Structure 1
């Protein structure tokens, strides 16, 4: 059963160190599965690790986390080549697509070579829940700050733009992120930005922000809008956050 409407869960979380496995699925991934509406069978999650170069050890760790959680995990590897010429059939056979972190610039370039953006848009409109962490959050937006090019953050503006906003990730844990978002929104290089602390996520139905959620007690989420009358040229508003069980 697909989600009842196009759904994206953009996060700075979703996985954590496991007790019996290297990784385990944290509440944000379980929430993504819940959003898919799947019943009567194990949920199917397509893990996309392009941003880290499709590392096989990472694939194995995510698959083990899935087994522990009762979720069937398929890794969509594009290195050294896609697993099938029918990427749409593969992606649409899953309930959730979860995109891992890493280099969003490399991810976007490789996806475009293989036509994956069109497949993901098709999946989104068909009710497959799209989600991810870090680069796997940024990719759904117009753009945002990234360390894809080096330790000094740069702004990417060629995201998939399924969501017509900018995105800021790791807002509380990397000191350069907040001022980079503020500067880019103030200059007009980025539109209004939706940002998450580590452990927080943003839920969208269609292009509408429905709510902010978090898998820990401290994580926040923020809206940054351009305002020429403000001292920094922007105003930042902390959003209400629902804490996931």
Structure 2
């Protein structure tokens, strides 16, 4: 996601409901990794406020608090249907993940069919390169490389990123790739782009080739349901979960 989702547009559940709908499980397990925000409490609270009222099993992992709240990372993440990565510092995110071996664990998750999602830093991290503002001014930064090419986010919300992205592609510093507005999501199946969707009208994404050629990618506008899943099913699920707790 170039931007959007529960942290940027909590009043519009379209993208978050779309993410849940990608899972084959009737009640998907979804785990937030808020590492890029330094495990910010506001991001964690908003995640649970958004997904706690839907037909899913939400949880989060605070990597900065593993000392006081230990958790088996590999086993826990491989049990998830969806791993959702929040926004923040791409440089900080990847440094912590690599120190704890999450780069390898998440690749194993991806290869086993776990859906990997995220916005901003949590979207660019899956590509070979992104354009981060972690140090102030936008600058190219390497990612995990699960997906080939590059991604620049917040195309409309932070327009200073796009010229840096274009220049870096033109001079060969980074490979060709994509740029996306806030509210736009690029959906990959395996490593191939399958669909472009948006939570808002009149949003855009673009594919930029190595020679600078730009191809507009018009997103499919998502509906804005009030909830994910059938109301009766969710009520039953909440009752069962409350009894378990």
Shared fold (TM-score, shorter chain, > 0.5) = yes
The equivalent position to 1:221 in structure 2, one of 193, 200, 205, is: 205
Structure 1: how far apart are the matches of 2:153 and 2:105?
A: 24
Q: Which deviates more from structure 2 when the two are superposed, residues 27-36 or residues 138-147?
A: 27-36
The equivalent position to 2:139 in structure 1, one of 130, 137, 154, is: 154
Residues 202 and 116 of structure 1, relative CA distance in 2, 3 Å threshold? same
Q: How does 1:1-245 map to 2 (within 5 A)?
A: 10-15=1-6, 23=10, 26-39=13-26, 42-81=27-66, 83-84=69-70, 86-150=72-136, 152-157=137-142, 159-227=143-211, 234-245=212-223
Structure 1: how far apart are the matches of 2:54 and 2:102?
A: 27
1:25 shift after superposition = 6.7
Residues 175 and 88 of structure 1, relative CA distance in 2, 3 Å threshold? same
Q: Is the 8 A contact 2:6 2:46 kept in 1?
A: no
Q: Which deviates more from structure 2 when the two are superposed, residues 108-117 or residues 56-65?
A: 56-65
1:17 shift after superposition = 6.6
Residues 11 and 174 of structure 1, relative CA distance in 2, 3 Å threshold? closer
Residues 96 and 25 of structure 1, relative CA distance in 2, 3 Å threshold? farther
Structure 1: how far apart are the matches of 2:91 and 2:12?
A: 25
1:191 shift after superposition = 0.5
Q: Is the 8 A contact 1:48 1:76 kept in 2?
A: yes
Structure 2: how far apart are the matches of 1:177 and 1:17?
A: 18
Query: For structure 1, which runs of at least 5 residues remain unmatched after alignment?
Result: 1-9, 228-233
Aligned length: 222
Structure 1: how far apart are the matches of 2:74 and 2:156?
A: 36
TM superposition score normalised by structure 2: 0.85
Structure 2: how far apart are the matches of 1:189 and 1:84?
A: 40
Give RMSD over aligned pairs: 1.7
